[in-house]
Amino acid sequence: MAEQFDLRGSGMTSQRARDRLVVSLKEQGIVSESVLRAMQNTPRHIFIDEALAHGAYENNALPIGYNQTISQPYIVAKMTELLLGKKPLNKVLEVGTGSGYQTAILAQLVGRVYSVERIKPLQERAKLRLQALQLTNVQLQHSDGGMGLKSQAPFDAILVTAAPDEVPAELIEQLAIGGTLIIPVGGSQGQQLKKITKKSAMHCDTQIIEAVNFVPLLSGVIS
Ligand code: SAH
């Protein structure tokens, strides 16, 4: 399976390119050593069409087909850093697998990742990449993640990579007490990245992190 992907890369996709990406992430304020290490070790170029792979280590979102994009490295690093707290995370839900790049980063840092994607062909391609990287602590699901993933709840943390207009109540419900939800929220008027901590069954703490620009969270699935 792995032969299908050039995991090492060369030139614009080499280890040196990943090392330079990490330098630029540090310059942009990413401090978590474990996040930086995961990004240094993960070949982002295999998550992108070969024709665009030369741009894999620049800080850009890139198209992955079906009108979707792989998130820019800085935002992947930032969201992951926000998610990791003091305690180790055993069970994490990602909504919006897309290319699987964010999934691959998470899989190196937490116990188990459940990732849901509404567009089946994207999910299938992501699966091949994660297999090639031998990341076996990942479970991919083809479903509408706006509903979360009730069968596996509660989660220690939830990370959403597409923006709803409002925070879906199901996601808060499926968060363990003390758990964290990282989510971009807002429509065409602009989005904000939020960090929501579930303090008790009835009470959440919301922190606004920064302005972001994600594809919208859509309902229903595409096979
Ligand atoms: N983390 C991904 C981001 C991809 S873009 C990456 O770095 O590649 C966001 C993804 O969310 C898209 O693939 C889109 O199809 C998916 N998405 C949008 N609404 C969704 C929903 N309700 N349930 C599951 N996935 C959804």
Report the nearest-CA residue for atom 18 of ligand 1.
Answer: 217
17-28 b/e with 16+ CB inside 10 Å = b? bbeebbeebeee
Q: List domains and CATH numbers for the chain.
A: 11-212 (3.40.50.150)
Tokens of 194: 């939020």
Predicted local distance difference test score (pLDDT) of residue 3: 62
User: Considering only CA atoms, which of 72, 104, 97 is closest in space to residue 217?
Assistant: 97
Q: Which of 67, 105, 129, 217 to mutate to test the pocket of ligand 1 (most atoms within 8 A of CB)?
A: 217
Average pLDDT along the chain: 96
Report the nearest-CA residue for atom 12 of ligand 1.
Answer: 98
Predicted local distance difference test score (pLDDT) of residue 188: 83
**Average pLDDT rounded to a whole number, residues 89-108:** 98
pTM above 0.85, yes or no: yes
Query: pLDDT tens-digit profile of 31-77?
Result: 999 999 999 999 999 999 999 999 999 999 999 999 999 999 999 99
